[in-house]
Amino acid sequence: MGRIVSPSKVEVPHKWFNILTALNFDIPVNLPPERSSDGVSVQLPIELVRQTVTKKRWVDIPAAVRAAYEKWRPTPLLRAEALEKYLDTPARIYYKNEGVNVSGSHKLNTAIAQAYYYHRAGVRRLVTATGAGQWGTAVAVACAMFGLECGVRMVGTSFHSKPYRRTMMELYGAEVSPSPDPITKAGRQFLANHDPDSGNMALAIAESLEDTTRDGFTRFCIGSGELYSILHQTIIGLEVKGQLSMLGEEADVIIGSLGAGSNFGGIAAPYIADNIENGKKVRCLSVEPSACPKLTRGEYRYDFTDSSGLTPMEKMYTLGHHFATPDIHAGGLRYHATSKLISALYHYGLVEAIAVPQTDVFASGALFLRTEGFLPAPESAHAVHGAVLEAIAARVDGIPRTIVINLSGHGYFDLAAYQSWHDGTMVDINVTDDEIRKSLSQIPDVKCIL
Ligand SMILES: *Cc1c(COP(=O)(O)O)cnc(C)c1O
């Protein structure tokens, strides 16, 4: 087991860190959709809107949100000594364990803040869409904290293959329904032409949006990639900085898995600002699945954030909103693009990216279990694998370095995936250049829209 680094001596931060104030470029604005979505709009509480445009460097964490954080934060920062020894590396490896809350992942950091602001805005019921179930679980937990009702639309295949995520959400009082659902208009339209098992996030979002029209008190809340979600996740990087400095350590490489970008952005933001403003040279490395390689093989251009084509277009690294993401086990990393903030940071060379195949990822996840005694979520195991590669590079070049992994969640609901790796039935999926080119060619040219 790794040595624990006195987490009790670090205070839970009182403020989130706004990285936009450190950038010497603007994040490109969103473009309105060419078609409207039946008058359904995502109405954000004013505080969340403010957080996406504020020029303030530090944003106060409301007392009620901070009190909720204190139930499990600061999260432990542990040194992975057994893993270092196994890899015979001169690198020192630390991991920030975000899997130690009831929802099992870092997503609770923003879900709590979002539920708080919606509650303050007079909303009584929050609905959301979830793929693999982590986001839905986080929202269910957060709604219970602030007395909000909660409705979760879960992509049907996950609803059936991950029954225990549903159980957790229902125990927290959420109403969980599989998508497609014949109750909704979007669900009926989909079922008329498609197999019930072919539902996806875009449809689950469309069905959730429909749920908001049933009364005046329901709102739809979005997951990970928004600027405010990444802001809320900066609590991770701020705690890491405090914990490392107590040890007299400085990070050389920060590693996180990349889906929509919130756990990576959250741990990296304070370090990126330090690089820009104080001449530091901390490398920030994102790790994506080779089956969904948006940063390493996508294009930086305007695209829709879901496959309905009803959302505003954002400038981001994308594989195309119709990209048929292969059914890899890390459901949380299957997004066809990544947030506009992470995309811009990558475009300007402020963060790095690698893509890795899932069998290697699960091998590193299982190795982490055997050495450190904690099973990473398949998403988080991407970051672990990135750290393993970095530690091996240190062994080869002989240069010691301090690596910090964002262990974004635990994998105890993903044992079927680990079993499939263990049995040798898991396969790696290769995406061809041709598939990517075809998918990118379906993105409408922005000039046609303006
Ligand atoms: C959702 C999820 C991710 C990916 O989402 P980001 O917004 O990129 O952080 C990573 N790890 C876990 C455990 C998740 O649940």
Does the Cβ of 339 fall within 6 Å of ligand 1?
Answer: no
Tokens at residue 37, please? Answer: 């979505």
Q: Write out the two tokens for 284.
A: 């920030």
Does 254 or 9 have the greater pLDDT score?
Answer: 254
d(CA 394, CA 409): 26
Structure confidence at residue 39 (pLDDT):
45
Q: Is 358 in the pocket of ligand 1 (CB under 6 A)?
A: no
Is residue 374 located within the same domain as residue 420? yes
Cβ atoms of 268 and 235 closer than 8 Å = no
pLDDT (mean) for 332-356: 96
Q: Are residues 96 and 156 in the same domain?
A: no
Residue 7 included in any domain: no
Contact 141, 111 (CB under 8 A): yes
**Is the Cβ–Cβ distance between 207 and 184 less than 8 Å?**
yes
The pLDDT value recorded for residue 201 is: 82
Find the CATH number of the domain harbouring 388: 3.40.50.1100
In a domain, 266, yes or no: yes
Q: pLDDT above 90 covers what percent of the chain?
A: 81
Q: What is the pLDDT of residue 35?
A: 56
Q: Residue 68: its pLDDT value, please?
A: 98
Quick check: CB of 105 below 6 Å from ligand 1? yes
Q: Looking at residue 1, what is its pLDDT?
A: 46
Tell me the chain's radius of gyration from C-alpha atoms.
21
In 3D space, the residue among 132, 122, 115, 96 whose CA is nearest the CA of residue 10 turns out to be: 96
Query: How is 371-401 classified by DSSP, letter by letter?
Result: HHS--B-HHHHHHHHHHHHHHHHHHHH----
Please name the helix (run of DSSP H) or strand (run of DSSP E) that holds residue 364, with its range, or none: helix 358-372
Mean pLDDT of all residues in 404-417: 96
C-alpha 332 to ligand 1 mean position (Å): 5
Distance of CA 371 from the midpoint of ligand 1 (Å): 23
Residue 282: pLDDT band (50, 70, 90) is very high
Question: In this structure, are 252 and 377 located in the same domain?
Answer: yes
Ligand 1 nearest atom to the CA of residue 258, by list position: 8
For residue 450, is it within any domain? no
Which of 299, 334, 305, 134 minimizes the C-alpha distance to 226? 305
409 lines ligand 1 (CB under 6 A): yes
Strands (E), 149-271: 149-155, 175-179, 218-220, 253-257
Dist. CA 71 → ligand 1 center (Å) = 21
Of 29, 93, 108, 101, give the one whose Cα is nearest residue 313. 29
- Helical (H) or strand (E) element with 317: strand 313-318
Cβ neighbours of residue 13 closer than 8 Å, sequence gap 6 or more: 61, 235, 238, 239
Residue 10 belongs to a domain: no
Confidence band of 287 (pLDDT split at 50, 70, 90) = very high
pLDDT band at 5; cut points 50, 70, 90: low
How many domains in the chain? 2
In-domain check, residue 285: yes
Residues 53 and 127 in one domain: yes
Q: Is the pLDDT of residue 448 over 80?
A: no
- Residue 413 half-sphere exposure toward CB, CA atoms < 13 A: 24
High-pLDDT (> 70) share of the chain, %: 95
| Segment 378-386 mean pLDDT | 98
Residues 180 and 61 in one domain: yes
Strand 3-4, strand 77-79: pairing:
antiparallel
For residues 343-355, average pLDDT: 98
Query: Model confidence over 175-222: pLDDT tens digits?
Result: 999 999 999 999 999 999 998 888 888 889 889 989 998 888 999 998
- Verify that 136 and 256 share a domain, yes or no: no
> Sorting pLDDT into bands at 50, 70 and 90, what band is 58?
very high
pLDDT in tens, 61-86: 999 999 999 999 999 999 999 999 99
Q: How far is the CA of 191 from the centre of ligand 1 (A)?
A: 29
Could you tell me the two tokens for 182?
């014949």
Sign of CA dihedral 347, 351, 354, 358: negative
Dist. CA 287 → ligand 1 center (Å): 11
CA–CA gap between residue 343 and residue 308 (Å, rounded): 21
Shared domain for 291 and 376, answered yes or no, is yes
Residue 304: CA count within 13 A, CB half-sphere: 19
Are 147 and 112 members of one domain? yes
Give the ligand 1 atom nearest the CA of 410: 13
Domain boundary among 186, 220, 254: 220
pLDDT at 331 over 90: no
Q: Is 257 in the pocket of ligand 1 (CB under 6 A)?
A: yes
* Residue 225 within a domain: no
Nearest residue by C-alpha to atom 1 in ligand 1: 332
Of residues 393 and 162, the one with the higher pLDDT is: 393
Together in a domain, 46 and 78: no
E strands, 197-263, are: 218-220, 253-257
Query: Under 8 Å CB-to-CB from 358, ≥6 apart: which residues?
Result: 289, 290, 291, 328, 329, 330, 378, 426, 428, 429
> Is 6 contained in some domain?
no
| Mean pLDDT for all residues in the chain | 93
Answer yes or no: is the C-beta of 224 below 6 A from any ligand 1 atom: yes
C-alpha span between 356 and 429 (Å, rounded):
11
Q: Are residues 241 and 255 in the same domain?
A: yes
Whole-angstrom CA distances from 274 to 251, 269, 335, 384, 386 are 12, 9, 29, 24, 22
Residue 318 and residue 175 share a domain: no
Q: Which domain holds residue 210?
A: 16-65+106-220
- Residue whose Cα lies nearest atom 5 of ligand 1: it is 259
Residues forming a β-bridge with 318: 299, 337
CB of 279 closer than 8 Å to CB of 256: no
Q: Give 127's Cβ-side CA count (13 Å radius).
A: 25
- CA 121 vs. chain centroid, Å, equals 25
- Residues 294 and 436 grouped into a single domain: yes
Q: Which of 173, 188, 220 is the last residue of a domain?
A: 220
**3-state secondary structure at position 51:** helix
CB 74 within 8 A of CB 10: yes
Model-wide pTM > 0.85: yes
Residue 445: Cβ-neighbour burial (10 angstroms; 0-12, 13-18, 19+): exposed
Tokens of 161: 């293959």
pLDDT at 40 over 90: no
- For residue 23, how far is its CA from the centre of ligand 1 (angstroms)? 24
Measured from the Cβ of residue 449, the count of other Cβ atoms closer than 10 Å reads 12
In a domain, 127, yes or no: yes
- Domain endpoint, select from 174, 190, 220: 220
Instruction: Determine the distance separating the centroid of ligand 1 and the alpha carbon of 263, expressed in angstroms.
Output: 6
